[in-house]
Structure 1
Amino acid sequence: MYEKSFPNKRFKHTLHFLQKHINTNEPILDLGVENPFSQIMLEQGYTVKNTNGEDLDFDFSAVLDSDAEVVTAFEIFEHLLAPLNVLSNIKADKLVASIPLKLWFSPAYRSKTDKWDRHYHEFEDWQFNWLLEKAGWEIQDSQKWTNPVKKLGIRPLLRYFTPRYYIVYATRKH
């Protein structure tokens, strides 16, 4: 049904993982401004509120003021200098978060035109797990997937076999 309308494999995998763990009757706070995936969540029946573009390294008011039962964070934490701070302040008991994994054969992403569109962190899975654990989260499920590109060369070939994205479902430790 929706697979043909999705712009990429990442959205398809992300939605399947979200639907596996989160019911549409659980309100979601999605970290980051409205984006194509927050629109997909709305179309699939989720109640979603996004943050407003505030710098989540310094301003935690969105997570402190939210009554959402779930926080989602899709490719956000790699842009923060100190993701531990916002992760520690989330009041919701459920978290679904994804990150791009560090690729040993490719440098960290840095936009040449947008000073905010860069990755300060590109985690290995164990590093992200450790970050979540330190912030008071317990991982219940996780998944990785590749992101092949339609180019020729050694790096594009490696992308067929090397996972690029990592997603977790975690619950707050009490």
Structure 2
Amino acid sequence: MLDALRRFLTEFAGASGQDGFAVDDHRVAAAALLVNLIGADGIADAAEKAALHDVLKAHFGLDDTETAGLVAAARRREADAVDLYAFTSVLKRSLDACGRAEVVEMMWEIVFADGEAHEIEDNIVWRAADLLGVPDRERVELKRRIAASAPRVHAGPEASA
């Protein structure tokens, strides 16, 4: 009981938890958005899981162990979240416009990791981008750019817009 209270107070204060990442760490918030996105279509395949690891490692300059810790922290935080706002609010406070657009870019990289954009994934990126203050035009341009480099892409209606 006392340990649970101590963990709660530690997390509430924003200090590092058992995973080494603070509750308000923008990397955890971004990773949790990506974890949410992977499970959105009901199929978390190997390509998406590998892309999650690769995207986080590359964008945040982490090694394999740090990336695994970040993914674990993100999974825990995503499981406790009620909605996307839990993550986008941290990102909006922590990142400038370019950083928030980079999160949307990371989301598109995950969406197209399996070669196609599902409608629900597209909707999640749209909602997250809106909450992050990333303009529709920029979101669509990021989608087009990532889709163009993805294999076997079925990009949906925005790709032809």
Q: TM-score, with normalisation over the residues of structure 2?
A: 0.33
Higher strand share: 1
